[in-house]
Amino acid sequence: MHLTASAVSHHVRKLESRLGLSLFQRLARGVALTDQGRQLADAAGTALADMDGVLRSLRLAREERDRVRITTLHSLAYTWLLPRLGGFTRAHPHIQLRVDTEIALTRFDDSGPDLGVRHGAGHWPGLTAHHLMDDALFPVASPAFPGVDQVTEPAQIAELPLIADQARQGWHDWFRAADVHGRKLEERYIFSNTTDAMMAAAQGIGVALAREQIVVPYLRSGQLIRLPGPAMPARWGYYAIYPSHRRLRPAAQAFLDWLLAVDKR
């Protein structure tokens, strides 16, 4: 309270004079509360505790108001979201972000995320979906992969070790789009995560079928190069999703607005 003992005594005497009551018994070795002083102390303690609880609740509500929890795929977070996220944090430095990367579609219950960014057809029961961007698939390999400089047509790729992930479109679809038929395809290395498939290709163990939105950093850094053949349009795109029954809080709405406006290139 930043008060000396004598100042506290002065305020106590002033309060006793105002109330016309004795709140303390002055003893030889200190003081003790009178019955009236105990009643007032109990009431004051309860009131202060109530105020502290309300202030704590208000503080937590303010912090929650400025917090956004996002769920997305690890591959998209690593190669697309993180390189752009600085633009959002500079525009909204007060907003706290939590980014969860999961394969499964998260449940949007009261303790769940505010927003999700997912790859799919754009229709999820009970969720509002905003289209962010489309995608395409094409083959890539490390420039150090043996013989990669001699690959001049899609049919030659079928003879190389193929790297696959567990996406719903894969090598069979791409070779069909490239008009390559009658070849026995061997998906020699299969990964559950697209990021792992890209890293495997960058390490030179085979050829991967890359997603256009995921592979950009690898192409820019020279870790991977594009091989001959078409860019096959993906059947599914990327969408920002959230529960249809729940209105977004201002911080989550700000993040959604940024997602819709950010440069997708």
Cα end-to-end span (Å), the chain? 58
Contacts of 175 (CB under 8 A, 6+ apart): 154, 157, 158, 181, 183, 185
Same domain, 10 and 69: no
Averaged pLDDT, 71-83? 92
Tokens of 39: 């009643």
- CB of 213 within 8 A of CB of 238? yes
Chosen domain end from 13, 36, 64: 64
Tokens of 209: 């079928």
The CATH code of the domain that includes 32 is: 1.10.10.10
Task: Evaluate if residue 119 carries a pLDDT over 80.
Answer: yes
Domain residues for the domain of 200 are 136-233
Place of tokens 């003081």: 31
Mean pLDDT value across the chain:
87
Same domain, 162 and 99: no
Averaged pLDDT, 236-244? 93
Structure confidence at residue 58 (pLDDT)? 47
Least confident of 5-9, 66-70, 203-207: 5-9
Same domain, 70 and 126: yes
Same domain, 36 and 89: no
Contacts of 253 (CB under 8 A, 6+ apart): none
Same domain, 245 and 122: yes
Same domain, 78 and 125: yes
Task: Evaluate if residue 107 carries a pLDDT over 50.
Answer: yes
Distances (CA, A) of 22 to 25, 29, 43, 96, 128: 7, 18, 16, 52, 66
> What phi and psi, each to the nearest 5 degrees, are found at residue 165?
-115, -170
Same domain, 140 and 229: yes
More confident residue, 130 or 11: 130
Task: Evaluate if residue 62 carries a pLDDT over 60.
Answer: no
Cα separation of 71 and 31, whole Å? 60
More confident residue, 231 or 73: 231
122-169: pLDDT as tens digits: 999 999 999 999 999 999 999 999 989 999 999 999 999 999 998 888
The CATH code of the domain that includes 208 is: 3.40.190.10
Structure confidence at residue 52 (pLDDT)? 61
142-154: pLDDT as tens digits: 999 998 999 999 9
Same domain, 162 and 94: no
Same domain, 166 and 245: no
Tokens of 191: 């990964």
Same domain, 77 and 154: no
Tokens of 199: 């890293």
More confident residue, 220 or 58: 220
Cα separation of 209 and 178, whole Å? 13
The structural domain count of the chain equals 3
CA angle 101–218–204, rounded 5-degree value: 105
More confident residue, 264 or 190: 190
Chosen domain end from 43, 64, 85: 64
Chosen domain end from 64, 79, 112: 64
Same domain, 107 and 128: yes
Same domain, 128 and 247: yes
